[in-house]
Structure 1
Amino acid sequence: MNYQQILYEVSDRIATITLNRPDRMNAWTATMERDVRHAMEAASADDNVRVIVLTGAGRAFCAGADMEALQAIDPSEIRRGESTPPFDMNRRADWQTRYAYYPAIPKPVIGMLNGATAGIGLVHALYCDLRFAADNTVFTTSFARRGLIAEHGISWMLPRIVGHANALDLLMSARRVSSEEALRIGLVNRIYPPDQLREQTYAYARDLADFVSPSAISVIKRQLYEVPFQTLAEATIDANREMQIALKGSDFREGVASFVEKRPPRFTGR
């Protein structure tokens, strides 16, 4: 696939998707949307990929929507996402909308936030499973300062990550948030000096790729993203069903054998 506005590469069982409009601080466009969706689907389907890293080229992760495109947008276009083809028919429909499909990917998605993360860029960061940021990264929801509302499910996702009061603060004020504050309120998992961000992110990603069962990760990820729609009883019954399956799987046998034999595991994802 010849992508126009992203870079895509696979190495050490890690797929890296890089937003590639550094001259525009990786401002989001319809072309970028198509490129990222295709690359995510490719990484999800590739048995050689166990972890996905989403990042940006240059000094920003994504500074929000391309303002030239936003000025010319047709208001009816915003509802196009309501009919987006499902990413995975076996996953909950709530995670099949225009941008909220990252949780339907059965592999960990790490947002490596290397700079400004604003507006729709923040939306994409929130849909990643984990967020590692450079310690000079600045975050903002942006919407209220552009006369816009909380878009693409951020009103649902943000409170579940930072809490209701913090979400109201970030959305209503649309103020700039430092990486230190982002870490304190749980918006990001970890922060690193810019010159260490890549090394530390990929060290974590390689640890997942090399030492963690892909089948276990897939189920655990699905469990956590379905919990907001379940009762405790439903979550427990689901876990018991999945445990029965896991106990019959080769990854379970390999996990026990590698521990007993004091060697690295050779998981197959089955």
Structure 2
Amino acid sequence: MAYEHIKFTTDEGIATVTLNRPDKLNAWTRIMEREVRDAMEAAEKDDSVRVIILTGEGRGFCAGADMNLLSGIEDGSEKREAGAVYGTKAYNVAVRSDFQTQYSYFPSISKPIIGAINGPAAGLGMVISLYCDMRFASREAVFMTAFAKRGLIAEHGISWMLPRLIGHSAALDLLLSSRKVTAEEALRLGLVNQVYDAEDLMPAVKVYATDLAQNVSPRSMAVMKRQVYDAQFLSLSEAVAIGNEEMIKSFASEDFKEGVAHFLEKRPAKFTGR
């Protein structure tokens, strides 16, 4: 389908979703919200796609909610639209309800989602970046929660995600102060995985994504992603039991047989995801 506020491409096993309002630093709109979800669902259903990259066009990743969207909250129109469109939508009945809300559905996508944070990620833009499975940042990137300086609170699950990434005290620091965090500080905090010069960001992300797409079992990635997110709600013994059960299933999979065969035969893998 044609998109207004994003670009969506697929190439060699990689789907790239690009927020595309560069003149507004890719400020988030309801149109963008619907289109990102549609693109994520399309990538999930496409067997040729192994990895998803989410990034922004131009100088910014996402500067947060568009001010017109925020203004709509005051008269109730924005709340009514959000509730009507997203309040009861279930993305995937096979995953936890925690990962089926308006913005928390990224973990329900079985394929890894890599955030290529090319510029400012503020407010809702920062929330979206946290739901990516990993984040690679440009040195031009800055992170800011922004909520406290708008009279708002820790929204859309950031109070759950942020402490798990950087710890309780550091999360409160970023939430309460709404201060800007550079890419280098974000790396020290554990908010991002790697930092690159601006011109090297997308090439580096694509090298990483290509390795996953070509050399790693899609089945293994899907199971591991689900294990890691679900384990945050489990005891150690429960996580061990699930791991043992999944290992038995892995032994019976085509990808396990191929994993052994390509290693012994010293050739590139030909994983099917089955």
Q: CA RMSD in A?
A: 1.2
Q: Identify the residue that residue 15 of structure 2 maps to in structure 1.
A: 15
Q: Identify the residue that residue 37 of structure 1 maps to in structure 2.
A: 37
- Pick the aligned partner of 2:221 from 217, 237, 248: 217
Structure 1, unaligned runs of 5 or more: none
Q: Identify the residue that residue 247 of structure 2 maps to in structure 1.
A: 243
Distance 2:44 2:82 in 1: 26
Q: Identify the residue that residue 118 of structure 2 maps to in structure 1.
A: 114
Distance 2:219 2:208 in 1: 18
Deviation larger for 11-20 or 84-93: 84-93
Query: Structure 1: which amino acid aligns with 2:13?
Result: R
Q: Identify the residue that residue 57 of structure 1 maps to in structure 2.
A: 57
User: Residues 39-67 of structure 1: CA distance to partner in whole angstroms, max 9, x if unpaired?
Assistant: 00000010010000000000000000101
Deviation at 1:82, TM superposition (A): 6.7
SS at match of 1:60: coil
1:84 touches 1:98 (CA, 8 Å); kept in 2? no
- Pick the aligned partner of 1:161 from 160, 165, 189: 165
Q: Identify the residue that residue 150 of structure 1 maps to in structure 2.
A: 154
Distance 2:186 2:140 in 1: 11
Distance 1:212 1:251 in 2: 9
Deviation at 1:76, TM superposition (A): 3.7
Matches within 5 A, 1:189-228: 189-228=193-232
Matches within 5 A, 1:86-97: 86-97=90-101
Deviation at 1:199, TM superposition (A): 0.4
In 2 relative to 1, CA 77–141 (structure 1 residues): closer, same or farther, beyond 3 Å?
farther
User: Residues 156-182 of structure 1: CA distance to partner in whole angstroms, max 9, x if unpaired?
Assistant: 000001110110000000000000000
Distance 1:86 1:133 in 2: 31
Deviation at 1:35, TM superposition (A): 0.4
Distance 1:36 1:3 in 2: 9
Matched, 1:140 2:147: no
Matched, 1:5 2:5: yes
1:115 touches 1:137 (CA, 8 Å); kept in 2? yes
Distance 2:219 2:56 in 1: 29
Distance 1:86 1:254 in 2: 34
TM-score (norm 1): 0.98
Identity of aligned residues (%): 55
SS at match of 2:270: coil
TM-score (norm 2): 0.96
Moved over 6 A (4+): none
Q: Identify the residue that residue 48 of structure 2 maps to in structure 1.
A: 48
- Pick the aligned partner of 1:252 from 207, 232, 256: 256
Distance 2:80 2:125 in 1: 19
Aligned residue pairs total 270
Query: Structure 2: which amino acid aligns with 1:61?
Result: F
Distance 1:254 1:38 in 2: 32
SS at match of 1:17: strand
SS at match of 2:16: strand
SS at match of 1:7: strand
Query: Structure 2: which amino acid aligns with 1:31?
Result: I
Matches within 5 A, 1:178-197: 178-197=182-201
Deviation at 1:84, TM superposition (A): 3.6
Distance 1:230 1:22 in 2: 41
Matched, 1:69 2:69: yes
In 2 relative to 1, CA 180–78 (structure 1 residues): closer, same or farther, beyond 3 Å?
farther
Query: Structure 2: which amino acid aligns with 1:264?
Result: P
